[in-house]
Amino acid sequence: MYVFNFSEGNKDQKDLLGGKGANLAEMVNMGLPVPPGFTISTEACKAYLASGQSPANLRVEVTMALRQTEDAIGRHFGADEEPLLLSVRSGAKFSMPGMMETVLNVGLNDTSVEGMARFAGDERFAWDSYRRLIQMFGKTVLDIEGDLFAEALDAQKEKAGVKSDPELTAADHKEVVAAYKQIVLDQTGEDFPQDPRTQLDMAIEAVFNSWNTERARLYRRRERIPDDLGTAVNVMAMVFGNLGETSGTGVCFTRDPSSGHSGVYGDYLSNAQGEDVVAGIRNTLPLSKLEELDPKSYKELRAAMRRLETHYRDLCDIEFTIERGKLWMLQTRVGKRTAAAAFRVATQLVDEHLITLDEALGRVSGMQLSQLLFPHFDAQSGVKPLAKGLGASPGASVGEVVFDNAGAIAKKEAGVKCILVRRETSPDDLPGMVASVGVLTARGGKTSHAAVVARGMGMCAVVGAEALKVDPAGKTVTVGTTVLNEGDVIAIDGATGEIFVGEVPVVDSPVMTYISEGIDAAQHAAHGDPETLDLINSVDRLLRYADGVRRLRVRANADTAEDALRARERGAQGIGLCRTEHQFLGERRKYVESVILADNPEASQAALDELVPIQRQDFIELLTVMDGLPTTIRLIDPPLHEFLPDLTELSVKVAVAEAKGEEPDQHDLKLLTAVQRTHEANPMLGLRGVRLGLKIPGLFDLQIRAIAEATVQLLGEGKRPKPEIMVPLVGSVRELQIIRDRAEAILADVSTTSGVKLQIPIGCMIELPRAALTAGRIAEEAEFFSFGTNDLTQTTWGFSRDDVESAFFADYLEAGVLTISPFETLDALGVGALVRMGVAAGRETRPDIHVGVCGEHGGDPESIHFFHDAGLDYVSCSPFRVPVARLEAGRAAVAVGDAGTA
């Protein structure tokens, strides 16, 4: 069975009915006024896409459902008098606003348009509906360039001497219909189809096909929506918002999707159809104006909004139409919202006793918290805005003006930030939006395409800036006497709607102030602004709750005392990775160089001895900042070539000297010999990590001694240092055993000399497939594991990260081989299987082994959920992402009912 009446489903059947169909069914079950209709399931779409044709029995099922719709509304599809017209809309499981197709007024033809005029008592309405059908059908079903229809409509308005669509008369619309039909004939070689059932069948197949349009595929890649879900098709009896001033259409939210505040939020247009609101073609009225225009419908709508929010227990996005004073509910869904709105709405619903704190934590995300940490424009800068629109998606964006997809993509490829400026956006503008840091439109409201998509993408957006005169052909935007050209720099504030010429100073986010300095400092910095205070308190409340329920501890990757301090301020519970090689950069490089160039063991040891006090001081500073918290120090890891000059540059330098008849510098010659000796074709798989420690034992030994001596000194000062020694790139238990024996000997020597007993855990990184596969044996020598998922990903996939991301990742993403870079989000099926295997084997050998991750995946929200599920004890990430990791670790715990104390 492929077709379901609206009364046959519910909101939990999104896989089968799509989000729109499932929610329509739910509204019918609630008794809300929904026009009759039916949903063609996602299974029908998948069957169509697989075979290239509709399932054999689909046509019959559509006929049966269509007759039920006719009976419910009392009109007949295809009738010449009082015809039933239909809307045909897409509806995937996951919301993809504007990415797929819609066709309205299906069923009108040259004969029934006259009957519709008589039925409605409004000739203008009937011909307006007919021209809309031809325009949408032509663009959507027949793939005709939309600008052709827009130009014909503009030409008719110019001929009639009017500025807006509602000012056109019935006679004007008849001329537009004739022009549109000629466009169809010219572009396709065939007349516009007059048979209503043909229109319906073609529209259904067009919606199926729209699942695989480029913009839909791009949106799914960005949002990581699977390609194999397909879309449902919702066929609904048309109700009309363009039947005069007592009719209209709108979109509303039960709370403000930009700020999260309760109130009356939405857009309304009198004498219009729904696409006019969503497309942003006409600037809308605020929803509150409906109370003046139609108090009865307004009251009914507000009651329905309250019922829906209570039923869904969340912010709801609602589309509605009023037909001659009768309210109809056309769609609802849980509304997209900005990051600030997400935190505010979550805590508001807790306070209203509609959801629990566990549920509230599930309503926000680490990505949203990240957005709140970004800087914003300085209100005290004194810079005057050029113009002001509606702040549709918060953020502070600065970039060069571009007017189309090609311009935006070119800027991005050149590494230049840009802002897409349009009269209004359509789904076709998605590639340009993805390539931009912000979007600015002259038309549209907070529920227009640009606003909805930008909020979903977390992108700064300002819409409805009526003062802007955008000329995409001339690539200019004019505000009064100011003319901006493509390439000029502007700044937009997605919270206030302000537009500035040139760059504007930015200041730290108040949420970042809270994260790094505490709630008191953040409240002081807010200067009493109630909206900012409300946001800070909402974030504080949910972050503290996450800290209380999460099982995963959160450490940071930090190489210096400054990094460690920054991490601790952001709530890090230790250091999961101190990359000691970073401490050898700059002036210190010469010490390692001296070790490599040493002619005998004595010279090598002398160079190493010089490093001990330097490293000791590094560790004293680091351990002092992290006093009382575990600090994992990785012994030197990179290959030797990173401490030596580049082979090519050095060879050229020596060759040039010889070519000039000069004696090359003896040091350069010695260096060249060393570089040639240590040169490797693939150094990342060569002499590095534990292999380097075995080849040049003194390197690891000096670091272990420096750690031990720093610990002794701090213990003597009454501090509580908790260092952990981590051996990199272990592939064999014997490698670790050799290093451990040497480390224990050094620790014993320092203990004996100082009289201070040292207990410093020794563990290793698991970053090679062999290490994961033999983790049970390695755990015999390791007191802890830390998964180095960057290298583990490289060695599992056989990818060289520095090469593949630029060479072919874009092609792999396009082809669906990858849905996201495995270096951003952990490959759970492949690399993740090795992680699970390593954890299980390690704990089987040593039940109390401590297991963490220190790759970049430690700060990735999706990967954190995997690590929680895999049973790791902690994640370690960059200091900036510590708050994100704290929140996501809490979300992971409540998602699986596995809350604990971190």
Residues forming the active site = 449, 854
| Chain centre distance of CA 84 | 42
| Cβ atoms of residues 119 and 85 within 8 Å | no
**Helical residues (DSSP H) of 161-195, grouped into ranges:** 170-188
Neighbours of 378 (CB within 10 A): 14
| Placement of tokens 């219009």 in the chain | 272
Residue in the structure block whose two tokens are 């870079």: 821
| Cβ–Cβ < 8 Å for 557, 876 | yes
Helix (H) or strand (E) holding 463: strand 460-463
């030596």: which residue's tokens? 644
**Could you tell me the sign of the dihedral formed by the alpha carbons of 243, 247, 252, 258, in that order?**
positive
DSSP secondary structure letters along 404-435: SHHHHHHHHHTT--EEEEESS--GGGHHHHHH
Q: Is 334 helix (H, G, I), strand (E, B) or coil?
A: strand
Query: How far, in Å, CA of 556 to CA of 763, rounded?
Result: 17
787/309 Cα distance (integer angstroms): 44
What is d(CA 767, CA 784) in angstroms, rounded to the nearest whole number? 14
Q: Is the dihedral of CA 503, 509, 512, 514 positive or negative?
A: positive
Alpha carbons 814 and 827: distance in angstroms, whole number: 17
What are the backbone dihedrals phi and psi of residue 418, each rounded to the nearest 5 degrees, phi first? -140, 160
| Beta strand spans in 243-372 (E) | 248-255, 262-270, 285-286, 316-323, 326-334
Which residue from 878, 826, 881 is spatially nearest to 854, judged by alpha carbons? 878
What are the E-state strand segments in 774-864? 784-787, 850-853
Q: Of 673, 667, 635, 668, whose CA–CA distance to 654 is shortest?
A: 668
Cβ-contact 595, 608 below 8 angstroms: yes
Other residues' Cβ atoms within 10 Å of the Cβ of residue 856: 20
In the chain, the amino acid numbered 112 is: S
Q: What is the CB neighbour count within 10 angstroms for residue 385?
A: 18
Vertex 160 angle, CA 157 and 162, to 5°: 60
Give residue 539's identity as a one-letter amino acid code. Answer: V
Helix 589-597, helix 601-625: angle, nearest 10: 150
How far is residue 762's CA from residue 378's CA, in Å, rounded to a whole number? 49
414-420 contact pairs (CB < 8 A, 24+): 419/490, 419/492
Q: Which residues are 319's β-sheet partners? A: 251, 331
Backbone angles phi, psi at 549, to 5 degrees: -105, -15
Measure the CA–CA gap between 817 and 829, rounded to whole angstroms: 13
Q: Please answer whether residues 862 and 885 qualify as being in contact, where contact means their C-beta atoms are separated by less than 8 angstroms.
A: no
